[in-house]
């Protein structure tokens, strides 16, 4: 939710900030803005719409000179997307300029107070209130910007990552973080600040990630100074060396990031188990589990907390953990879990799944679980993210950056990590027969090549997409391990093509949704050979007798469903628990093609943002 970028150094800040904002557009794209210090004053341009609009506006209307600047791409929370509500926001005196990602919950009362003291507001945002609060503190207390930021932030309730500059002190940027991510790139006599490392990775591999309630003064010619906002304690910056490279965050010849990321899945799954899975020795090595084996072995149950697609991966994991490791599992929407006074004990293991590692509800669920004594294990993609740091232990998915707003490779790599964990625990507990365990490892190792084969359905999927691109409603059905895949297929279609779609367990159809079926209704059914095949075939018969259009995902060589369905898409055979890794592929491709055919913005669907750092 919102991307922020800043630069201070010997280069021109403008191109760095614009390119950085384009890379961060996945975080929000309602509006964008930039402020640059040209040596004597701050120039500012901001607009509703994409960074591309900002670029045009800025290049036509302002001086682009200067080695200090901040920029913002917005996902609106307070105030509709328009020019006034866009960031950066300026304080009443014109001295201070801020960009902010997050929400200031008590901004109304602060605004009232500042209004009484004569402040004027030109936007509906909480951010404009914050910059004026900082200004008021700075004047009243007669302190420097860093100190004023510190005092002001102690008064606010909410979440933030901010970058703020002062036209009277153009050798520094002050940044602070609580709940929203903020990284500082450390170059040779230059610094970058950004919501993630993508805006600065081509300039430096060295980065400091701010922890919650930390602030920093990034000053030219000086080392970074970190402070705790509340108690003023000095913290020492931990400079990490990043492994990310620039190719990973560019489209690499694909029309959209989503398509690139769909095609990256064989590599991403391989990277997920690389170094962890040793088929010859029959071993799974995962430091986060090995070091905490007792906690897992003694767990009464596992509670999985996540949102959206990650929640769907959690549902697949529920089947895997119960089936293989015989551990009871509950899967919770993090947003519900955090507010419903759940029963949590120190015998619980909580697994938090999050691609971004920044989802506010998941983070809050983790804090609640920890406060109640549970052991919390994270499954994240983004290295160094807030969730990765907040959890007791964890395993990264190593999927590489996922930039398309619709999650694809995050889903399959999360399932891969969770399968490794379940298999490892199954073996440790001795509840899974040795021969089956070995067969499982061999099969898991073959998944990347089977995903390659599943991707070969692309041309056929495109033809099917053409047939159903104008549908207004769709149903997705699956059973067992493939019920969550049905939910995920429906979510993918909804979010990028704006077609209403619902996922159901196939057998639930009779309890209501069957009433929707007529000759207009496309029904996507996952009907792979393993697991409840005959029962799903019966469900298909029921749809056919009501003239629904059937598009079935089947196992290679299937003939029975072919007789009944309007279209079949084949995926390679595998063991039942691993089928979601294959059946989800044609459904991802289908949503992609339908969205492209409908002229939708695939990578940046309306109203969404990649990383939901507000509740
Ligand atoms: C759907 C999608 C979202 C995310 C959800 C959780 O394609 O991307 O539903 O899965 O916002 O995000 P993370 O995994 O970053 O916590």
| Confidence (pLDDT) at 425 | 96
* Ligand 1 atom having least distance to the Cα of 359: 16
Checking if the pLDDT of 556 tops 90, the result is: yes
Mean pLDDT of the 399-409 span = 93
pLDDT band (50, 70, 90) for residue 405: very high
Tell me the CA–centroid distance for residue 608 and ligand 1, in Å: 10
* Beta partners for residue 104, in sequence order: 158
pLDDT band (50, 70, 90) for residue 246: confident
Query: Residue 384 has which token pair?
Result: 């160094």
Q: Taking all residues of the chain, what is their mean pLDDT, rounded to a whole number? A: 94
Ligand 1 pocket test, pick from 262, 305, 308, 338 with the greatest ligand atom count within 8 Å of Cβ, gives 308
Mean pLDDT of the 65-80 span = 91
Q: Which residues contact 27 (CB under 8 A, 6 or more apart)?
A: 1, 2, 3, 73, 75, 101, 195, 609, 610, 611
| Separation in Å, CA 400 to CA 71, 181, 243, 260, 608 | 25, 18, 10, 12, 21
Q: pLDDT tens, 178-198?
A: 988 899 999 999 999 999 999
Pairing, β 500-505 against β 549-555 = unpaired
Checking if the pLDDT of 81 tops 90, the result is: no
Mean pLDDT of the 272-286 span = 94
- Whether residue 407 has its Cβ less than 6 Å from ligand 1: yes
| Confidence (pLDDT) at 242 | 86
Checking if the pLDDT of 248 tops 80, the result is: no
Ligand 1, atom 7: closest residue by C-alpha? 406
Checking if the pLDDT of 1 tops 80, the result is: no
Tell me the CA–centroid distance for residue 407 and ligand 1, in Å: 6
Note whether 75 and 607 are within 8 A (CB). no
Tell me the CA–centroid distance for residue 241 and ligand 1, in Å: 27
Checking if the pLDDT of 244 tops 80, the result is: no
- Whether residue 574 has its Cβ less than 6 Å from ligand 1: no
- Whether residue 362 has its Cβ less than 6 Å from ligand 1: yes
Mean pLDDT of the 70-75 span = 94
pTM for the model stands at 0.84
**Domains located in the chain, CATH noted:** 3-246 (3.60.20.10), 256-450 (3.40.50.10490), 458-597 (3.40.50.10490)
Tell me the CA–centroid distance for residue 279 and ligand 1, in Å: 32
Mean pLDDT of the 327-351 span = 96
Active site residues: 2, 610
- Whether residue 413 has its Cβ less than 6 Å from ligand 1: no
Mean pLDDT of the 323-351 span = 96
pLDDT band (50, 70, 90) for residue 222: confident
Q: pLDDT tens, 480-496?
A: 999 999 999 999 999 99
| Confidence (pLDDT) at 417 | 98
| DSSP code at position 99 | E
| Confidence (pLDDT) at 238 | 86
Checking if the pLDDT of 374 tops 90, the result is: yes
* Least confidently predicted of 62-66, 252-256, 358-362: 252-256
| Confidence (pLDDT) at 610 | 77
Is 553 strand, coil or helix? strand
- Whether residue 591 has its Cβ less than 6 Å from ligand 1: no
Ligand 1 pocket test, pick from 26, 258, 310 with the greatest ligand atom count within 8 Å of Cβ, gives 310
- Whether residue 355 has its Cβ less than 6 Å from ligand 1: yes
* Least confidently predicted of 124-133, 230-239, 569-578: 230-239
How many Cβ atoms are within 10 Å of 147's Cβ, its own excluded? Answer: 17
235/270 Cα distance (integer angstroms): 38
Ligand 1, atom 4: closest residue by C-alpha? 308
Q: pLDDT tens, 95-137?
A: 999 999 988 999 999 999 999 999 999 999 999 999 999 999 9
Ligand 1 pocket test, pick from 351, 407, 497 with the greatest ligand atom count within 8 Å of Cβ, gives 407
Checking if the pLDDT of 245 tops 80, the result is: no
pLDDT band (50, 70, 90) for residue 615: confident
Tell me the CA–centroid distance for residue 360 and ligand 1, in Å: 11
Tell me the CA–centroid distance for residue 564 and ligand 1, in Å: 35
| Confidence (pLDDT) at 142 | 94
Tell me the CA–centroid distance for residue 355 and ligand 1, in Å: 7
Mean pLDDT of the 221-237 span = 83
Helix 126-141 / helix 145-155 crossing angle, nearest 10 deg: 120
Helices first, then strands: H and E counts in the chain: 20, 27
pLDDT band (50, 70, 90) for residue 247: confident
| Confidence (pLDDT) at 427 | 94
* Ligand 1 atom having least distance to the Cα of 309: 10
- Whether residue 613 has its Cβ less than 6 Å from ligand 1: no
* Ligand 1 atom having least distance to the Cα of 410: 14
Tell me the CA–centroid distance for residue 308 and ligand 1, in Å: 5
614/46 Cα distance (integer angstroms): 23
Ligand 1 pocket test, pick from 181, 258, 309 with the greatest ligand atom count within 8 Å of Cβ, gives 309
């Amino acid at each position: 939710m919102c991307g922020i970028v800043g630069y201070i150094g010997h280069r021109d800040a403008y191109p760095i900030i614009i390119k950085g904002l384009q890379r961060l557009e996945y975080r929000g794209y309602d509006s964008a803005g930039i402020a640059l210090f040209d040596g004597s004053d701050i120039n500012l341009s901001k607009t509703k719409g994409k960074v591309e609009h900002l670029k045009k506006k800025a290049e036509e209307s302002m001086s682009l000179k200067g080695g200090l600047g901040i920029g913002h791409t917005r996902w609106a929370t307070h105030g509709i997307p328009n020019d006034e509500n866009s960031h950066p926001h300026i304080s009443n005196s014109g001295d201070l300029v801020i960009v902010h990602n997050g929400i200031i919950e008590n901004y109304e009362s602060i605004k009232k107070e500042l209004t009484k003291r004569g402040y004027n507001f030109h936007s509906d945002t909480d951010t404009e209130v914050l910059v004026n609060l900082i200004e008021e503190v700075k004047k009243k207390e007669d302190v420097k910007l860093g100190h004023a930021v510190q005092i002001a932030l102690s008064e606010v309730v909410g979440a933030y990552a901010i970058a703020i500059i002062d036209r009277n002190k153009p050798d520094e940027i002050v940044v602070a973080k609580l709940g929203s991510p903020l990284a500082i790139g450390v170059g040779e006599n230059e610094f970058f600040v950004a919501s993630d490392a993508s805006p600065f990775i081509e300039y430096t591999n060295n980065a400091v990630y701010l922890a919650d309630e930390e602030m920093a003064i990034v000053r030219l010619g000086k080392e970074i100074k970190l402070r705790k906002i509340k108690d003023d304690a000095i913290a020492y910056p931990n400079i990490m060396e990043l492994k990310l490279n620039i190719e990973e965050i560019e489209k690499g010849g694909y029309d959209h990031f989503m398509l690139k990321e769909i095609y990256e899945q064989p590599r991403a799954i391989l990277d997920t188990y690389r170094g962890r899975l040793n088929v010859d020795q029959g071993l799974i090595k995962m430091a986060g589990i090995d070091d905490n084996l007792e906690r897992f072995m003694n767990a009464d149950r596992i509670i999985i907390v996540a949102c959206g697609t990650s929640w769907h991966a959690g549902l697949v994991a529920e089947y895997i953990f119960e089936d293989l490791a015989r551990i009871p599992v509950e899967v919770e929407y993090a947003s519900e879990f955090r507010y419903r006074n759940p029963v949590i004990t120190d015998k619980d293991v909580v697994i938090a799944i999050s691609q971004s590692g920044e989802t506010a509800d998941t983070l809050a669920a983790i804090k609640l679980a920890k406060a109640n004594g549970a052991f919390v294990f994270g499954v994240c993609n983004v290295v160094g993210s807030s969730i990765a740091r907040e959890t007791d232990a964890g395993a990264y998915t190593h999927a590489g950056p996922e930039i398309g707003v619709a999650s694809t490779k995050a889903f399959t790599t999360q399932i891969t990590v969770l399968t490794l964990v379940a298999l490892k625990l199954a073996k440790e507990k001795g509840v899974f027969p040795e021969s089956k365990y070995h067969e499982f490892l061999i099969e898991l190792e073959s998944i990347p090549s089977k995903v390659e084969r599943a991707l070969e359905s692309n041309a056929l999927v495109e033809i099917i997409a053409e047939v159903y691109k104008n549908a207004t409603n769709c149903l997705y059905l699956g059973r067992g391990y493939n019920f969550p895949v049905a939910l995920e297929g429906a979510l993918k279609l909804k979010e990028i093509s704006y077609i209403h779609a619902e996922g159901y367990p196939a057998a639930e159809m009779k309890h209501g949704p069957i009433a929707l079926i007529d000759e207009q209704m496309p029904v996507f059914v996952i009907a792979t050979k393993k697991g409840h095949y005959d029962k799903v075939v019966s469900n298909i018969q029921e749809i056919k007798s009501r003239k629904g259009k059937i598009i079935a995902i089947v196992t290679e060589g299937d003939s029975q469903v072919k007789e009944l369905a309007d279209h079949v898409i084949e995926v390679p055979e595998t063991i039942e628990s691993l089928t979601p890794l294959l059946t989800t592929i044609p459904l991802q491709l289908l949503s992609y093609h339908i969205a492209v055919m409908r002229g939708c913005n695939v990578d940046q669907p309306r109203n969404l943002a990649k990383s939901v750092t507000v509740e």
